[in-house]
Amino acid sequence: MYARLARFEGSDVSKLDEQIEELRKQLAAARSGDLPADAPAEARTLMESISRFVELVDRETGASIGIAFTETEEDMRRADDALNAMSPPEGSGMRRTGVEIYEVALDESFR
């Protein structure tokens, strides 16, 4: 399993809930395979390659970390290319400040 961590800064903290809800809707559409006909090719690539997604937010600063998980290294390469082609939402003030890719060496649940 692989994980891609993307760091973002500059989100308007007053709009975090709206941004989270929009992301939730997009992920639900991707998960159900119900992407709009005009969805970008990158969205379809992500739907096919990402197995899990986690978003961490700092409500005081507007910083966030998006973590995309894939089952294979090849899927991670495809997802990374697609995500690099996408930009933070226009007018959000958000900017991507870093991207790192890791192999998941351990993933344990305690409950």
Q: pLDDT tens digit string along 86-105?
A: 877 676 678 889 999 999 99
Say whether domain 2-103 belongs to CATH 3.30.70.100: yes
The pLDDT of residue 72 is 96
Q: Which pTM was predicted?
A: 0.82
- Burial class of residue 70, CB neighbours in 10 A (0-12, 13-18, 19+): buried
| SS3 call for 34 | coil
Instruction: Give pLDDT tens digits for 56-74.
Output: 999 998 899 999 999 999 9
Task: Read off the pLDDT band of 38 (50, 70, 90).
Answer: confident
